[in-house]
Amino acid sequence: MKKLLSSPREFRALSVVAGALLALGAATASAQTPPAPAYAPPTPVYYSSSSHDLGFEFEGDLGVSVLPDFDSSRFGFPGRFSTQPGMSLGLEPGYNFLSTSRLTLGALFETGVLYNHIKSVRDAGVWTSLRGDYYQVPLLGELELKFHPNSIVVPYIGVGGGGDYSAARIHRAYFYGVNSSSDKIDPAVQAMAGVRFRINSMADVGLGYKFLADFPASGQYIGTHSALATFTVRF
């Protein structure tokens, strides 16, 4: 070995070989090391995916109905009816036929029941002792437009039209029976708006408002306001 290293030419050759071996080893180690994964932002867990919104769905709502004072001659006299806040229940099967990343458009059929207790009746401006019950069953076709931001929040608006079946029963105060009753169907329209919160790709819950306008033959409309808790299930 001393003899080999004593030759400058042989020493330089040995140095070149050693350097080449070190470079080859470094290149091999670098090739075996996997590259760092590229960063990808996390996908929101609750995202309004248009692929899940197309197709059949069922909507329902339950809440409070407020029926402002209204004039009606359905009992044979020009009465003004005052009611107490009551109950509203809605059932709406439907089908979403258009859906994008920003909105969904669907068609619904709405029915259900609205109930308000008649607390007083005026006949020709004079208070009477009449009390009673006022029921409504909407029969409406509707269009509903839902908006989809990148969050769990889904605002919506809608309009509809069709008929409103109403049934009124009146009786004298402290008399537990029906003195008179009236049932009929009148044209009606409805507007609605609200916001839903997406639980998952199949279900929403939310809060909503509806205004139902009934147009009896007398010409003066009867409006009902409803504040509702809503739920939606998609199939």
Confidence band, pLDDT 50/70/90 cuts, at residue 45: very low
Instruction: Decide if 27 is inside a domain.
Output: no
Instruction: Decide if 14 is inside a domain.
Output: no
Instruction: Decide if 6 is inside a domain.
Output: no
Mean pLDDT of 82-103: 94
Q: What is the pLDDT of residue 42?
A: 54
Model's pTM, two decimal places?
0.75
Instruction: Decide if 198 is inside a domain.
Output: yes
How confident is the model over 146-185, as pLDDT tens digits?
998 767 999 999 999 999 999 999 988 776 666 888 999 9
Q: Write out the two tokens for 204.
A: 């929403």
Instruction: Decide if 2 is inside a domain.
Output: no
Q: What is the pLDDT of residue 231?
A: 96
**Cβ atoms of 159 and 189 closer than 8 Å:** yes
Instruction: Decide if 45 is inside a domain.
Output: no
Q: Is the pLDDT of residue 217 over 70?
A: yes
Instruction: Decide if 20 is inside a domain.
Output: no
Domain with residue 150: its CATH number is: 2.40.160.20
Average pLDDT in the chain = 84
Q: What domain count does the chain have?
A: 1
Q: What range defines the domain where residue 70 resides?
A: 50-234
Residue 219 to residues 55, 181, 187, 189, 211, Cα–Cα distance (Å)? 39, 21, 11, 14, 18
Instruction: Decide if 91 is inside a domain.
Output: yes
Which among 188, 225, 185 has a CA at the least distance from the CA of 209? 225
| pLDDT, greater one: 16 or 228 | 228
Q: Is the pLDDT of residue 124 over 80?
A: no
